């Protein structure tokens, strides 16, 4: 896919004075639940009312959605509130039913994006549609696979496209449900700046009290909008209860989020500078996380040395590491002086950790 793909400006056509907002319950549970949430959101900045109709779950036995019945509830939402509607599709049958019920925006979920076969099936079922189609990132951090989904849809003459960043699965424990790996979304944005990029902080965080923070980071990185799961009774939601917020909370959040406006040359400069600084902040957080993980390994080595009564300082090993890092630093345009300062500090911290263990 070339960077110059001709995408329709569906986002511009909405003529919004704020980021795009897609909100509604993780799952459509009952007709009353869906309509109650929609009516509480109808006078807000929400542009599309979302509800999961078919819910692909990691393991069977959990609530997997009400199915096609929920599409009729979304039709009622549109009729009663005037809000446009959105739902996830995972196969050609879902697409057919969603189009028959005039759903305005369809998205392909993270579990579907990982399979080119599924994406191709959906693309063929949607061929030539003027509906908006968004592709969530695959569960694994693979930019090529994400872009591959967009390519398949674009090849099926679908031009109203966009992507949703919902974070990536990881075996490591982090503060997020799905690690954001912001650098992947940034790389996609840099390569395809005209492709609308939506953040899904609900799935990234898995915790409602972190949604505002992640939403602000996304807006600071020039994301075009947010998809936020919203429920009138989040604690009793039938799926993903911990990550849903009330309509009232969402509306207040939309008021509190800082949105940068481009009005003049000075504003352009400040916006560009703020975006670059936010990118640095993201990488700095990753550096701290990586250093913390490195020290945990150093602690494990310290425990092993203590058990075997081995000296903390291993000069030969240290010199080998330093030599390798200097060479890798040169390849990344980092001076030898800088590498020496950084790795000497890291090495000293590792020694401090191990000595504390040895003397503990």
DSSP 47-85: -EEE-BSS---SSTTS----TTHHHHHHHHHHHHH--EE
Contacts of 53 (CB under 8 A, 6+ apart): 28, 65, 66, 67, 68, 70, 71, 74, 87, 88, 94
Q: What is the DSSP string of 257-280?
A: S------SHHHHHHHHHHHHHHHH
Considering the chain, tell me which residue range(s) the CATH 1.20.59.10 domain(s) occupy.
266-358
Provide the pLDDT for residue 307. 87
Listed residue (325, 238, 188) closest to 29, CA to CA:
238
Q: What percent of the chain has pLDDT over 70?
A: 95
What pLDDT, in 10s, does the model give residues 58-77? Answer: 667 677 789 999 999 999 99
Could you say which architecture CATH assigns to the domain 10-259? Alpha-Beta Barrel (3.20)
pLDDT of 265: 67
Q: What parts of the chain have a pLDDT lower than 50? A: 1-2
For residue 1, what pLDDT is reported?
Answer: 46
What's residue 358's pLDDT? 85
pLDDT of 6? 64
Which residues in the chain are classed under CATH 3.20.20.70?
10-259
- pLDDT at position 270 is 77
Query: In the CATH scheme, what architecture does the domain 266-358 have?
Result: Up-down Bundle (1.20)
């Amino acid at each position: 896919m070339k960077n110059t793909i001709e995408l329709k400006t569906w986002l511009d056509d909405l003529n919004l004075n704020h980021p795009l907002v897609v909100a509604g319950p993780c799952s459509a549970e009952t007709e009353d639940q869906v309509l109650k949430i929609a009516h509480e959101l109808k006078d807000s900045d929400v542009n599309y009312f979302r509800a999961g109709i078919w819910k692909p779950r990691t393991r069977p036995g959990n609530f997997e959605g009400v199915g096609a019945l929920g599409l009729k509830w979304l039709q009622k939402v549109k009729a009663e509130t005037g809000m446009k509607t959105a739902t996830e599709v995972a196969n050609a049958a879902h697409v057919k039913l969603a189009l028959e019920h005039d759903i305005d925006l369809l998205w392909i979920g993270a579990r579907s994006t990982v399979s080119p076969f599924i994406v191709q099936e959906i693309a063929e079922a949607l061929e030539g549609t003027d509906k908006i189609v968004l592709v969530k990132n695959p569960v694994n951090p693979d930019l090529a696979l994400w872009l591959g989904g967009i390519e398949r849809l674009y090849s099926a003459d679908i031009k109203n496209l966009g992507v949703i960043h919902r974070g990536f699965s990881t075996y490591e424990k982090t503060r997020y449900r799905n690690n954001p790996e912001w650098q992947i979304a940034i790389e996609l944005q840099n390569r395809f700046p005209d492709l609308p990029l939506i953040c899904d902080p609900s799935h990234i965080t898995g915790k409602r009290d972190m949604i505002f923070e992640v939403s602000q980071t996304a807006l600071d990185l020039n994301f075009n909008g947010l998809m936020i799961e919203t429920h009138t009774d989040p604690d009793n939601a039938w799926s993903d209860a911990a990550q849903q917020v009330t309509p009232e909370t969402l509306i207040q959040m939309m008021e509190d989020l800082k949105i940068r406006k481009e009005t003049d040359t000075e504003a352009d400069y400040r916006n560009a500078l703020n975006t670059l600084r936010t990118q640095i902040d993201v990488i700095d957080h990753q550096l701290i996380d990586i250093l913390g993980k490195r020290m945990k390994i150093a602690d494990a080595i310290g425990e092993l040395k203590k058990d075997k009564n081995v000296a903390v300082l291993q000069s030969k090993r240290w010199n080998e590491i330093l030599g390798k890092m200097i060479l890798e630093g040169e390849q990344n345009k980092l001076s030898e002086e800088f590498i020496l300062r950084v790795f000497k500090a890291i090495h000293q911290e590792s020694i401090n950790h191990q000595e504390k263990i040895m003397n503990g």
